[in-house]
Structure 1
Amino acid sequence: MDFTFKDEQQQFADALRRWVDKDYSFEARKKIIHSESGVSDRAWATLVELGMLALPVPEEQGGFNGSAVDMMVVMQELGRGLVVEPYFATVLGAQFLKLAGGQEGLLERVAAGELKLACALGEQQSRHALNDVLATDSSGAGRISGRKTVVLHGGQAGAFIVSVRSTGAQRDTDGISLYVVPCDAAGVQVADYRTIDGQRAATVEFRDAPGKLLGEQGKGWPLLEATTDYGAALLCAEAVGAMDAIFAATLEYLKTRQQFGAPIGKFQALQHRMADMFIHLEQARSMAMLAAVKLDSGDDEERRRVVSAAKARVGQAARFVGQQAVQLHGGMGVTDELPAAHYFKRLTMIEITLGDADHHLERFIAQPGFKEAA
């Protein structure tokens, strides 16, 4: 498989990396994390200026109509820089708007950087099953009630994409509807908090809050599934960028840390562990690229199969590479002073976001043709 990016994609990546190296250092990031808002308006403005928000938006709404591979380039660099701004949450919400159609005004605001989005999809009982929905829309009246948990960057959003139950039983895929709910609408309460990886999330309570329907009433599952597959593929790309960075940091540490009068990188046992990390990283890179390519194939069955395979493999690799990096750093590997600990925490969160490795292995096995192929 050809992993060579186009010239314009590489230029995009280089521009992002220069910004991270110059203005988004590890120390600058720590200050942002510990600030009251947990994000930086200045960093967000830079992302807008670089065209990151316009990239996935259709040209008709002021965007560049970027492909999933274009987005992979961006997410890798954001993962490498451990960027904590609400970019992922916003572009995931924008994908809902794109696929649903009829949301041109909101997409124009996203492309201009004026609107941040958050996706309120999970609930306390649902874990990774996004079809497990108890929040309701008052039997189709568009009044949203229910509690959504771990809403990524919910406290920084201007609007929520919310999944609700219009009809059917709790775990039915039929009967799910999707709504856009302004964050300042009556009946919306947001409890913002910081997650272990320095990002922000929120518990959002909806109490008869007004919402605008996305797509068809009770027919939201295909849209929900397609969009979260898109999000899972983006997370795979971010994980690859984070693994690139933690691998490089670990290699540098092995070259400089002295033990018994020699750099510990000279010890063959540690060289073997670094080789194993590299293999996991490259396999993850292959699967992340494959997922990005297949997102645009138009084949729903293939998209489900490949995205779940990628999320499972990347999740396994993220766990292995992160744990090995921490161990090879010794006790320093878990301290707040070293980037390695922060990469490890972010990789851990990526692995459990939008379905962990076990969840996606089960989903992969459940796809048509698996048993016949086996």
Structure 2
Amino acid sequence: MDFTFKEEQRQFADALRRWVDKDYSFEARNKIIHSEAGVSDAAWATLAELGMTALPVPEAQGGFNGSAVDMLVVMQELGRGLVVEPYLATVLGAEFLRLGGGHDALLQQVAAGELKLACALGEKQARHDLFDIRTRATPTGEGYLLDGAKSVVLHGAQAGALIVSARSGGEQRDSAGISLFVVPADSAGVGVRDYRTIDGQRAASITFTQVRLPAASLLGAAGAGWDILDAAADYGATLLCAEAVGAMDAIFAATLEYLKTRTQFGAPIGKFQALQHRMADMFIHLEQARSMAMLAAGKVGSSDAEERRRTVSAAKVRVGQAAKFVGQQAVQLHGGIGVTNELPAAHHFKRLTMIELTLGDSDHHLERFIAQPGFKQTA
């Protein structure tokens, strides 16, 4: 696999980094986090102007038809800059629309930056099993009635439309019988409770009470949504791996700079061999995570679903392990200030912790990897 980024990809990354450095500083981000909205309309407009909202959308719907590798360079910069805008939620929703088909007008709005999406997939009893669904979609003569609840919907309150998984058949934990719907956020019967997560992002608990949906709101075929849900979740996990690499890049650089400037016993602490060894270990974990994130980006679009699942789960496990190690070492090497909100490194570690828990933690993906056909356990 060629790990060399194309010129266009480097230009995207450079444009994002310049914007973050100039207009999305750590201080500016803190103001956004503590604002009533928790996000910035101006920042979103800039992301759209830079072409970021159009990047993953097919050309036929006004986008650039960007690959997962194109998205990797973008997500790395967003992770490095601790950007809290609803970009991940929107591009993941766009992937659902792309895979399901039939909603071109919505994809056009996403590409233009006119529509934000959120994916209401998880439920409180399911933990990381997205097929564990109690939310019901009952067919009616004109469409469906939606009833249920979704938990920790990333940027659910900021979205104009929701991608919702619901059970139209089968038992609670069956992969068959799952249907996907596009639900306008302002539909009658939709209840949203917005809150801030530990990493400064926004999430929501969303309830659906007798929400009437037309037949056109169905995404893909009725009862056959699992393949789309599984593939889109892998796409989202791949983007999270890339974002985590960006965050680890930033926390590693900050720690290295601190070791160069913090003095003890008349010398920079970076001169102490024991701390140099710890930085070397951090670097190894970071580069292994980077390699796995790149591999996942290259394989997530594979037509071989088993290969996709194996690769994405392996990446999520390795990136999760690296994020924990790099984050903990960074905090310890900074000393007491490593856990203060005044230091960007603390916020990077919080974001890394949330990435680990989103769309399946390391334990979940390790079990998933082992469960794939072809895995042979040796004594």
Q: TM class, shorter-chain normalised?
A: over 0.9
Q: Distance in 2 between matches of 1:147 and 1:295?
A: 29
Q: Distance in 1 between matches of 2:377 and 2:278?
A: 37
Counterpart secondary structure, 1:5: coil
Q: Distance in 1 between matches of 2:274 and 2:145?
A: 61
Counterpart secondary structure, 1:142: strand
The answer for the alignment partner of 2:253 in structure 1 is: 248
The answer for the alignment partner of 2:350 in structure 1 is: 345
Q: Which runs of 5+ in 1 are unaligned?
A: none
Q: CA RMSD in A?
A: 1.1
Q: Give CA deviations for 1:260-311 in whole Å, capped at 9, x if unaligned.
A: 1111111111111100000000000000000000012321110000000000
Q: Which of 202, 205, 228 lines up with 1:203 in the alignment?
A: 205
Give 1:143 shift: 1.3
The answer for the alignment partner of 1:75 in structure 2 is: 75
User: For 1:25-44, what aligned pairs fall within 5 Å after superposition?
Assistant: 25-44=25-44
For residue 109 of structure 1, what is the amino acid of its counterpart?
A: Q
Q: Which of 227, 232, 240 lines up with 2:232 in the alignment?
A: 227
For residue 191 of structure 1, what is the amino acid of its counterpart?
A: R
The answer for the alignment partner of 1:62 in structure 2 is: 62
> Are 2:173 and 1:171 aligned?
yes
Counterpart secondary structure, 1:370: coil
The range that moved more, 205-214 or 246-255, is 205-214
Q: Which of 330, 333, 355 lines up with 1:325 in the alignment?
A: 330
For residue 342 of structure 1, what is the amino acid of its counterpart?
A: H
Q: Which of 285, 292, 308 lines up with 1:287 in the alignment?
A: 292
Q: Distance in 2 between matches of 1:215 and 1:296?
A: 18
The answer for the alignment partner of 1:6 in structure 2 is: 6
The answer for the alignment partner of 1:362 in structure 2 is: 367
Counterpart secondary structure, 1:163: strand
> Are 2:114 and 1:109 aligned?
no
Counterpart secondary structure, 1:154: coil
For residue 282 of structure 1, what is the amino acid of its counterpart?
A: E
Give 1:210 shift: 2.6
TM, length-normalised to structure 2: 0.97
Q: Distance in 1 between matches of 2:2 and 2:253?
A: 23
Counterpart secondary structure, 1:126: coil
Q: Which of 150, 161, 180 lines up with 1:148 in the alignment?
A: 150
Counterpart secondary structure, 1:232: helix
- Pairs aligned (count): 374
Q: Distance in 2 between matches of 1:188 and 1:295?
A: 33
Give 1:252 shift: 0.3
Q: Distance in 1 between matches of 2:377 and 2:119?
A: 36
For residue 308 of structure 1, what is the amino acid of its counterpart?
A: S
Q: Give CA deviations for 1:218-266 in whole Å, capped at 9, x if unaligned.
A: 1000000000000000000000000000000000000011111111111
Q: Distance in 2 between matches of 1:27 and 1:65?
A: 34
Counterpart secondary structure, 2:376: helix
The answer for the alignment partner of 2:137 in structure 1 is: 137
Structure 1 segments (4+ residues) deviating >4 Å = none
Q: Distance in 1 between matches of 2:109 and 2:369?
A: 36
Q: Give CA deviations for 1:96-146 in whole Å, capped at 9, x if unaligned.
A: 000001110000000011110000000110110001000001246421110
User: For 1:81-100, what aligned pairs fall within 5 Å after superposition?
Assistant: 81-100=81-100
Q: Which runs of 5+ in 2 are unaligned?
A: none
Q: Distance in 2 between matches of 1:185 and 1:352?
A: 29
TM, length-normalised to structure 1: 0.98
- Conservation of the 8 A alpha-carbon contact between 1:80 and 1:242: yes
Q: Distance in 2 between matches of 1:96 and 1:305?
A: 21
Give 1:168 shift: 1.0
Q: Which of 216, 219, 225 lines up with 1:214 in the alignment?
A: 219
- Conservation of the 8 A alpha-carbon contact between 1:157 and 1:183: yes
